[in-house]
Structure 1
Amino acid sequence: MRITVANLKGGVGKTTTSVMLALGFAKHGRTLLIDADPKQSSALEWAGLADDWPLNCSVVAISGKGLAQRAASLVDDYEHVIIDCGAKSSLETRQALMVTDQLIVPASPRALDIVEIPTTFTLAAEIDAVSPVDAVVLLTQVRAATRSSVDVRAVLLERDIPTLRSQVRLREAFAGAYGTVPDSLMDYDDVLTELIGGEKDGR
């Protein structure tokens, strides 16, 4: 699979999602994780800190106007490609979508995050006109024992915005995973399974 992880709003778990998915896909084949965040390079730093980072999961930093061209020269050597785009990085997001066919938009179930989602989907729709992209929301930072995710799912369904059925809970384990290769991908195991199976709400 070739996946871009992006949301023009920050603080929604894009890098955690990118790294966890890359680690998951690496169990199924040679994987490339591209850090396309020119300001932080968090995914690249994460991998560099992890002593046991898998050998079949390569990580490179590529950003700017040449992202699509440089990525295109690499992706055919891998079974799976994940591109982690930073917040407000519309240039990198556009470039990434030119070489991937799946956009995952992480979003926490808060009103502000939901309001921003259509902006990212509009950008994806512009690219889809020339290079097919399947966009879908992944709810992240979901608090246990609350109705927030249920209510947000209803809003997204009403607006015909595709949403993965699996979701990622707000857990300390994710915050503590930075710089490590966790023994378990936790909620991202379900996300991975769903992506491979192709099931989502709103479709």
Structure 2
Amino acid sequence: MLKPSQLDFTNSNQLQEPMAVSDNTQAEVSTAETAKNTEPVSVATLSEPEKKLWANIEEILKSKNDSDPRVKDLTNLSADFRKALSDKYSSLKMEDRNGRGFLVFLVAKDLKLASDLEFLQKVYQEQPCLSLENCSTTSRDDNPHNAGVDQTTMNYPQLVVLYQLDKQLEAKPELLNDPAMRAGILATLKQAEVFPVPVVHDRAEQIRKKYNL
């Protein structure tokens, strides 16, 4: 079973190095614009303390260090912060499986709002990633001996959500007493059950039956 500590960030969302130009000033402007364009618009609505937390997220994504102690500070996040996480998720390349997995982990590990589950459902509305080099095409170099590992990595965001849902329901079964949360969790699991990858839809069905949903 996956654990949060298994976030290894082998595929980072580091910005591409700007192309070399003769004008150093122009290069600096281009780099600044690139960084600005990757920041979700919703970040502007965050409070100053939250913006500092957001800067930590950006650094953790770039460093690929899931053991960064600052991850522990990313709890009890506001609705605006969670919206920024959703927007950031959408901005990452599909091939950045670990970066995307980290962002859904932050939301799924501390469910608070029905909108959290609406975001998580969208993770299962994506097309399955077919290759770590290019999610839209199957790699010619696929090694059948690595099939299990690759399936886990390529479907990492989807599997992280399921692991965290199971963990949350075990620790806080009272979540299911809230009609909106119960409906959202059930909808998320049902969406996962139609995701066209066996390791995902089978696990979703197991969790749904485990909690009699």
With the shorter chain as reference, the TM-score category is 0.3 to 0.5
Higher helix share: 2
User: TM (normalized to structure 1)?
Assistant: 0.33
User: TM (normalized to structure 2)?
Assistant: 0.32
Higher strand share: 1
